């Protein structure tokens, strides 16, 4: 994942700090949660080799064609969901990854289920822990055991039910595979809410899985005003860059503000596809001053959700993909 050598990075940082002070620090941990764009031209923003991104996922088994030429972006396949039957013999994910590997794809990491504790209306894969364990052991385990691919545990929602789901999953895995259950190498987390809540959630996950590095694979302060949203973005990016047990992160914002289901101000792109301040900072640039507008063409103000600091475990799908 480290696509730039340290001396080069250091000299780039030195250069940018002497030329201008508005550039955010470069990060080798940053990636994109890819969703189908409002316009194909938006893809060019992520595929620019000069940006600060090093990886992406798209909730799917196979890479996004529009990003295939971006050699600085390493693709992380995801097993999004699984058949509901706890005895399903489905191996479609294993088959796809094995075939990509034999065609020379450089797959080093894979992600497990997306919000299996959440329903389809918020982008969750709505899985029983036992059905999830069954499909995991048939698809993920062989990739880890035989191909040395590093595996992320299911990415549950940031709600209390998420941790409970993981405990049940762990128990089903242990019952099915007494040796090592559903062994994994890192734990992805999702968070929609304020920074204090995020830090506390990370602490809880860290206490449960002290040996696993954390990836924050979806996060944003949703439906808040612009200044608050930018403050959250700054504080969390600085936090993730500083913590050595955070290996990677991907902010949920790679879309236009007019298509956002997490509030216009969280988006990387304006309604016209220009980088917002947050979008530009995330890519390693300076503020653009482009103010995002929402679905009705108005600026979005803070909603009651963020005012109350309530976790909204919203995810994908309203941003169509």
Ligand X SMILES: *[C@@H]1O[C@H](CO)[C@@H](O)[C@H](O)[C@H]1NC(C)=O
Q: Which residues of this protein are in contact with ligand X, per CB under 6 A? A: 1, 24, 74, 106, 108, 167, 170, 174, 181, 208-209, 227, 230-231, 234, 281, 287
Q: Whose structure tokens read 């058949």?
A: 83
Q: How far apart are CA 50 and CA 57, in angstroms?
A: 19
Token pair listed for 27: 């990060």
Nearest to ligand X of 230, 258 (CB atom): 230
CA dihedral 215, 151, 314, 161 (to 10 degrees): -100
Smallest separation, CB 25 to ligand X (Å): 8
Token pair listed for 270: 């304006």
Q: Whose structure tokens read 């450089």?
A: 106
Nearest to ligand X of 36, 288 (CB atom): 288
Nearest to ligand X of 128, 170 (CB atom): 170
Asked whether 171 and 133 are in contact (CB, 8 A), the reply is no
Smallest separation, CB 74 to ligand X (Å): 4
Nearest to ligand X of 72, 83 (CB atom): 72
Smallest separation, CB 109 to ligand X (Å): 8
Nearest to ligand X of 37, 285 (CB atom): 285
Among 95, 37, 22, which residue's Cα sits nearest to residue 287?
22
| Per-residue DSSP letter, 217 | E
Smallest separation, CB 53 to ligand X (Å): 12
Smallest separation, CB 122 to ligand X (Å): 24
Asked whether 79 and 93 are in contact (CB, 8 A), the reply is yes
Smallest separation, CB 179 to ligand X (Å): 11
Among 308, 301, 282, which residue's Cα sits nearest to residue 193?
308
Q: How far apart are CA 78 and CA 99, in angstroms?
A: 15
Nearest to ligand X of 90, 185 (CB atom): 185
């Amino acid at each position: 994942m480290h696509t730039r050598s340290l001396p080069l990075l250091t000299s780039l940082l030195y250069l940018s700090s002497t030329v201008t002070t508005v550039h955010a620090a470069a990060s080798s941990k940053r990636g994109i949660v890819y969703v189908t764009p409002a316009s194909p031209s938006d893809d060019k923003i992520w595929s620019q080799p000069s940006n600060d991104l090093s990886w992406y996922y798209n909730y799917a088994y196979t890479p996004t064609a529009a990003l295939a030429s971006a050699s600085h972006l390493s693709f992380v396949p995801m097993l999004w969901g699984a058949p509901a039957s706890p005895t399903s013999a489905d191996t479609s994910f294993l088959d796809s990854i094995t075939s990509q590997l034999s065609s020379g794809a450089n797959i080093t990491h894979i992600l497990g289920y997306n919000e299996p504790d959440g329903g389809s209306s918020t982008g969750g894969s709505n899985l029983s822990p036992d059905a999830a364990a069954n499909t995991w052991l048939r698809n993920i385990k062989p990739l880890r055991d035989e191909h040395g691919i590093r595996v992320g545990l299911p990415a549950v929602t940031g709600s209390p039910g998420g941790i409970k789901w993981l405990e049940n999953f762990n128990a089903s895995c242990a019952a099915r595979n007494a040796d090592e259950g559903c062994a994994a190498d890192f734990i992805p987390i999702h968070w929609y809410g304020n920074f204090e809540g995020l830090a506390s959630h990370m602490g809880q996950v860290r206490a449960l899985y002290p040996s696993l590095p954390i990836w924050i694979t979806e996060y944003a302060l949703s439906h808040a005003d612009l200044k608050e949203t930018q403050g959250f973005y700054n504080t969390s990016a600085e936090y993730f860059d500083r913590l050595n047990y955070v290996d990677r992160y991907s902010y949920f914002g790679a879309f236009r503000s007019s298509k956002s289901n997490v509030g216009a101000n969280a988006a990387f792109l304006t309604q016209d596809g220009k980088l917002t301040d947050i979008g530009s900072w995330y890519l390693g640039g300076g503020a653009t001053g482009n103010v995002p507008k929402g679905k009705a063409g108005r600026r979005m103000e803070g909603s009651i959700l963020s005012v109350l600091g309530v976790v909204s475990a919203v995810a994908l799908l309203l941003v169509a993909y």
